[in-house]
Structures are given as C-alpha cells and as structure tokens.
Structure 1
Amino acid sequence: MVKGHSIQLIQNKQNAPKHLNVFVVLHSHVDPGWLYTFEEYYSTSDHPVRKILNNIVNSLRKYPKLRFIWSEMSFLERWWSEANTTYRNYFKSLIDEGHLEISGGHWVMNDEATPYFWEAIENIIVGHQYVHEILNITPITSWCFHF
C-alpha cells in the first residue's frame, strides 16, 4: 500500500516469510529530450550520458558484485559509435557475465500515458533490432518509469 511518499508492506502474518529478500539494481533513467536536446544530454548536461555509460563499464569491472540495467538504446547507439574496441568488448562481457542487463531495450522509454499504439510498438522494434545487431541479445525483462 502506498500512502504519499511512505510505503508500507501489509501482508497476511500467517503466511509471512521468515525473511524478505530485497534486490536493489542500479539504473540511470535518461530522457533523450526533455529539458535539453539529445546532444546536450549526451555530451554537456550536468550528468552527461557519455560519462554515465563510461562509468557503468568502469564501475562494474571494478566492483564485480554490482549489477546495472540500461534501457535507452538511442543513447547506447551514440555511445557505441564513439566507444573504442576495448570499451565495446568490456560492455559485451559485462552483459555476458550478467553484470549489465538491457532492460526493455526500447529505442527510448516512451511516455506511457499518451503514445500512439504503433509508435510505441515501433519504438520497441527499432530498439530490439539495434541491440540484437550489436550485442546479439534480445531483452527478456522490462520496466516502466513513466506512468
């Protein structure tokens, strides 16, 4: 049950588990166009996406117990086009080893409230085609940030 900003877990005490597993997965939500242009978000904003993706690779290699999910293929495509072979190989190995996951794999995370149906479908198709082309994977999980 959600009340304002606090979240309470209400459950039947008869069937309550002895412990609760909580999984925290690192993620960065990046809009390809909201307050800035795509290029500004990628290169020059306060938290440029180029730097975020580089930090993902560096941090996951340094801390092997960490996990991260990435969603927006449009930014990945831009980063991939600039990344050297070493960083591309690191990125692929992090996915192969389960440290990094492409979640959703849409070209962008579209607004869930107002998209036209076929635009949302095309967004998924284009993103999945791209990630399959460069990483030879198909995303198997998804998540939604926009409601």
Structure 2
Amino acid sequence: MSSSHGRKQIASEMMGTGFQIAPMIDVVFVIMLFFMVMANSVKVEHELKTVLPGPPSKLMPEPADELRIEIAEDGAVLMNDEEFDSASDAKLPTLTANLIRLKKDADFRNERVVVTLQSEEQAKYERIIQVMNALAAAKIASVTFTIGSEEF
C-alpha cells in the first residue's frame, strides 16, 4: 500500500508543475486594460505661440528718443535741461501739458515715450511723486529711475 500511495503523490505533483496559460492570459488582459484606460489621460501637446528676439516687427512701436527729467534738491524740475514750473508749484501744469503733448505726438508716430527720472540724493520724495503724477497724467509708463548726478 505504501507504494501505491507514493505513486499517487508523485502523479499529483507532476500534474501541478506544468505551464499554466490561463493566469498568463489574465495578466495580459489586465495590462492591456491598464494601457487602454491610461490612453485617454495622455495630454496632447499643443503648439506654443512664442516670439523670439530678433529684428523689430512692424507691430511693435519704435523706441522714441529718451526724455530725461531731473529733480534738483531745491525742487526745480528740468526736462532735457529746460526748467519747467516753479519749485513751489505742486501741480506742475507746464510739465504735465508738455508730457501730454509729447505722448500724443509719439502715439501718432507709433513710437514709445521713454523717460529717465533722475533725482539728486537730497531731493524731496514729495517732489518726485509730483513728477510721477505728471507722468501718470500723460499716461507714460516707461520710466527708469536714477539717483545722483550721473552724466549721460
């Protein structure tokens, strides 16, 4: 009896050791299902509209001559070495009118107005703000600041 019992054990072991195709098919179907589901979540790349630096295009306005506005310690305001308004005038009507005229002229020629605001180190902040208000009234946004008496 022990020999027949041993044969049954060997026969059952041999039947379980063969290559099983059913689990492999299940794994392939699971992997295929995974890729099918993930295919919908792949983002399609779109063309990015970028403009690289190069020759100036006709759409961009040409840069205008740079205006230089100087603010002295005593409150005097000079535009391109010409004094405007008195040091005690807070509204700066002459400077504002000239800036508005220059801005309209530049817009007509499709040019930009670029301003360098140069103030002396001891100039009052209040006066700088008054000049900036005049620039804002003229709708001039391209402003560069310098401090001290640099030579141009």
Instruction: Tell me the TM-score normalized by structure 2.
Output: 0.33
More strand by share: 2
TM-score w.r.t. the length of structure 1 is: 0.33
Larger Cα Rg: Structure 1 or Structure 2?
Answer: 2
